[in-house]
Structure 1
Amino acid sequence: MDAGDTGSPAIQTENPSDTSGDDFSDSDNFMKLYEESLKSIQEGEVITGEIVQVGKEYVLVDIGYKSEGQIPIGEFKDPDGNLTARVGDQVEVLLEREADDEGAIILSKEKAAKIKIWDDIKDIYENEGVIKGTIVSRVKGGLSVDIGLQAFLPGSQVDLRPVRDMDALVGTEHEFKIVKYNKRRGNIVLSRRALLEAERLSLREKTLNSLEEGSILTGVVKNITDYGLFIDLGGIDGLVHITDMSWGRVGHPSEIHKIGDEITVKVLSFDRERERVSLGIKQLAPDPWGNAEEKYPVGTRVTGRVVSLTDYGAFVEVEEGVEGLIHVSEMSWTRKVRHPSQIVSVGDVVDTMVLNLDVGRKRISLGLKQVE
């Protein structure tokens, strides 16, 4: 039969043992499918996976690849060394490398958390929100704050007033405003003062609307001077002059109160234009001289404490806000007293008699020798 013959074609037989072509084809297809699965997720991308195995060194996480990714077990331990990973848990991870030298997919839970925090920081900053953090240490110029990342809180932004002991704030949790940040440099600057100022401004408006002469308010001692107490009433400060602290004798305001004390005060006057508030503490109680005439008529024996000495006599406090004078001439029948210290000392408790009473001038004359 010649070449042009169109008869029955010759039947070609294949060698059943020759499958090398299919093997290469299947291998190529498998690799293509594998590579396609990797294309959907890029290195540096944060994805959610499921923990499928917890080993001694690594935690295996299924992220939808043909094989699971691995994360060092240390990323799943809390500060006390306790393991927090459980099979079935959902976890956000960062794809660090599609495959290392051994073909393993390398993931990181910690780096994914940091990326998410930077996203949160950006969102909070742009929306003027607040972020919670814990002050972890004192550093040069301020404090270091843990907000998931290390952030810096300048000393001037810690409080409305200078903080004398910043070490005392270490370990405390607060809310902060993000003043500025630089992701590339890893810098985050916070302010607590900005939030306190905004809160104070809001309180100020509320306080100003409720302030009026005669009002009784609660405030906190903000500062102490020689002449009185400055009280934070809520966004606005008022002054309690030393003469309005007590009906009795006050040597220095710090003898009665300290910074941080919460006290009740009465508004004595309020200049709305200048926003000046005069406060009183003693005005919360009746003036003890109001019934002195009934309590201390002439001839009454009274007991009191010597509070001061002068060349001409001794002042005796018979009750808080009421003092009488024992003149040197009324100290002894028999002795010539040149100075009251010859007879009494400050702090002595003495029995006396009322010799004269002038309620209008708030004066009581007392005698010591009359009770001998």
Structure 2
Amino acid sequence: MAEEKQTDEKTSMSLMESLLEHDVFKSLDEIEDGTLVTGTVIQVNNEYVFVDVGYKSEGRIPLDEFDVIPEDGEKVKVFIITKDGKGGQIQISKRRAVTLEKTEDLRKAAEDRSPVLGKFVKVIKGGYEIDLGGEYRGFCPMSKADVSRVEDPESLIGLSDYFIIDKFHAGTKLKSVVSRREYLEKRIKENKETFFSSVHIGDVVQGVVKSFTSFGAFIDLGGFDGLLHINDMSWGHVTRPKDFVKKGQTIELRLINIDPETQKVNLSLKHMHEDPWSSFEKNFNVGDVVKAPVTKLTTFGAFIEIAPGIEGLAHISELSWTKRVNNPKDVLDVGDVVEAKILGYDLDKKRVSLGLKQLEENPWDSIDDRYPVGKTLTRPVVKITNSGAFIGLEDGIDGFLHIDDISWTEKVRNMSSFAKEGDMVDVVVTRVEPENRRIRLSVKQLEDNPWNTLKKDYPKYSSISGEVTNVTDFGVFVKVLGGIEGLISKFHLVGPDEEYNDSVLKNFKVGDVVTAAVMDVNPSTQKLSLSIKELIRNAQRSEISKYMDDEDEGDTFTFGDMLRSKDEEDN
């Protein structure tokens, strides 16, 4: 019985081994070299990963073929190198499985023109080397690297993005040709279609600041641009777009205009906030004094931000009562915090007028009290001009001395011949105009007007002597008392009974002393007319008058008698 039982056990074991052997070989027959199968990790040591490929057999894979060490029970895809390995062990590879799988993925992507992930790894002649994963490398021509011209090729190195495979090659490296541009253009087209079909005016959109121009900034909305105009950056005054947004910055903006036909998009940063002008009258009134920073200086004034988004203008004329401000930069700097008074505003035009000088007393309001007409002063010359000189009266207030107000009699042709900047001069106030901020001064009125004296002391036909100062074709100039220069017309250089000819002028030389009759004295025009002819005629009249009343004879001799006597002598 024992022998029979032992024999049955041996028979049973033999049959089981035979069946197992049959299953193993049968399953091994189903395995084909060069195929992909899914296995299960059953053990990991310091050198190998053991994988059950599901055919009653296991293979081992070097640990370095795994990017991440797998865990027991994890499913992995492997490549069957050969089912008849050494010692009857199946040979498998994880790396070759990845390569084969990658090959099929890339081949299918090339056929479907679907995007694949790649990375710019190196600049080479004519373009870039692209890492497509696994052992695959592709070539991307420079013209297909971006939708716009690449200014700095090195700037793309390290960038991961999607590519379209134009030409796939499973063998030699860099024979596959890829295009990032095609992928970007497709994505931009999709982004545009989505954008223009889904957004509406007033929506908030997100974008990246791409570039700047003098009139604003371009915002990348997903491969296409929207314009953020300089006027839409702030409710206040904007000088430099770069002061409000930075290149590469991701910002939210409000859509204020969209045109699907031209695909123009206008964006606004200021409309992300309430218009501060809408509540202006709640916060400010004319006459209010504000303390605020200077934000911009121009040739015509200073912009001052009285509240976020609200800037007022202090015109150059409103900066000082007295200083001659030629440029606001002479008295203010950007960033200065100043006090200003609100002079007026226009909400429709969003303008506020400010004044700095209104916070100080206007010195012109009391100018008449300090400089009454007739007051004599000694002050410095601060500026010389062609027509006169500005005389410094006090800080910021000058009086003007016209060149004609220097002398009653002398014609000053060059102001610098009278005085130079810094010279102290004596002047008298002759006119004050507070409304025009003008004060007129005079030097000549420090003395009496010699023309008035001359007119009073020398009536018409009275004789006067003077020195010849100039001989001209039209007459002789003579300087008389008080330095006044008069003119003897050439026809008045000879007696009433003589005829004038040009040789008469030779009888007069500069420096000669001559006597003539006063014909006209005009202080307002400062003209003096003299005549030798009238002087002689007056002398003749004086001689005639002796015969008109002869006391010795007791008879009366008239001017008519003299003429008859002369006629008789002529006959």
Given the two structures, how large is their TM-score scaled by the length of structure 1? 0.68
**Structure 2 residue 99 is the aligned partner of structure 1 residue 110:** no
Moved more, 328-337 or 314-323: 328-337
Distance 1:238 1:72 in 2: 55
Within 1, Cα distance between the matches of 2:273 and 2:48?
Answer: 73
Structure 1 equivalent of residue 198 of structure 2: 210
Q: Which residue of 2 aligns with 1:308?
A: 296
What is the deviation of 1:340? Answer: 3.3
Closer/same/farther in 2, CA of residues 297 and 174 from structure 1, 3 Å limit: same
- Offset, 1:95: 2.1
C-alpha deviation, 1:181, in angstroms: 0.9
Q: For residue 183 of structure 1, what is the aligned residue in structure 2?
A: 170
1:37-48 equivalence runs, <5 A: 44-46=34-36
- Is 1:152 the counterpart of 2:138? The answer is yes
Residue of structure 2 equivalent to 1:317: 305
Query: Structure 1 residue 219 and structure 2 residue 206: aligned?
Result: yes
Q: Structure 1's 239 and 57: CA in aligned 2 closer, same or farther, altered over 3 A?
A: closer
Compare the two structures and name the one with the higher helix fraction.
2
Name the aligned partner's letter for residue 307 of structure 1: T
Which sections of structure 1, spanning at least 5 residues, go unmatched?
1-33
Are positions 1:73 and 2:57 aligned together? Answer: no
Aligned CA distance change for structure 1 residues 103 and 223 (closer, same or farther; 3 Å): same
How big is the shift at 1:358?
4.1
Deviates more, 1:86-95 or 1:186-195: 86-95
Q: Which residue, out of 176, 183, 194, partners 2:182?
A: 194
RMSD of aligned residue pairs (Cα, Å): 4.2
Whole-Å separation in 2 of the counterparts to 1:76 and 1:184: 20
Aligned to 2:345: 357
- Cα 1:310–1:251, aligned 2, differ >3 Å: closer, same or farther? closer
Q: Distance in 1 between matches of 2:223 and 2:235?
A: 28
How many angstroms apart in 1 are the aligned matches of 2:293 and 2:161?
49
3-state DSSP class of the match of 1:182? coil
Deviations 1:32-56 (A, max 9, x none): xx99998765654555667788787
Matches within 5 A, 1:255-270: 255-270=243-258
- CA 74–324 in structure 1, closer or farther in 2 if over 3 Å, else same: closer
**Structure 1 residue matching 2:168: 3-state secondary structure:** strand
Q: Which runs of 5+ in 2 are unaligned?
A: 1-23, 361-571
Aligned counterparts of 2:134 and 2:348: Cα–Cα separation in 1: 69
**Could you tell me whether the CA contact under 8 Å between 1:56 and 1:73 is conserved in 2?**
no
Contact kept, 8 Å, 1:159 with 1:192, in 2: the verdict is yes
Partner of 1:137: 121
1:237 is aligned, of 225, 238, 242, to 225
Report if aligned partners of 1:266, 1:281 keep a CA contact under 8 Å in 2.
Answer: yes
Corresponding residue for 1:15?
none
Q: Aligned-pair distance for 1:324?
A: 3.0
* Conserved 8 A contact 1:315-1:323: yes
The alignment-based identity, stated in percent, is: 34
Q: Deviations over 1:6-56 (max 9, x none)?
A: xxxxxxxxxxxxxxxxxxxxxxxxxxxx99998765654555667788787
In the TM superposition, residue 247 of structure 1 has moved relative to its aligned partner by 1.8
Deviations 1:203-259 (A, max 9, x none): 3223222355x4323131333322222234456532222122222222222221124
2:80 corresponds in structure 1 to 94
The residue type equivalent to 1:231 in the other structure is I
Closer/same/farther in 2, CA of residues 143 and 359 from structure 1, 3 Å limit: same
SS at match of 2:99: helix
Structure 2 length-normalised TM = 0.48
Kept in 2, the 8 Å contact 1:228–1:239? The answer is yes
User: Structure 1 residues 97 and 313 mapped into 2: Cα distance closer, same or farther (>3 Å)?
Assistant: same
The answer to whether the Cα contact below 8 Å between 2:36 and 2:77 also exists between their aligned partners in 1 is: no
Q: 2:110 aligns with which of 106, 113, 125?
A: 125
Structure 2 SS opposite 1:274: coil
Q: 1:359, CA displacement in angstroms?
A: 4.1
Shift of 1:366: 2.4
Say which structure, 1 or 2, has more relative contact order (CA 8 Å, 6+ apart). 1
- In the alignment, residue 118 of structure 1 is paired with which amino acid? T
- Pair 105,132 (structure 1): closer, same or farther in 2 beyond 3 Å: same
Match of 1:23 in 2: none
Amino acid at match of 1:302: V
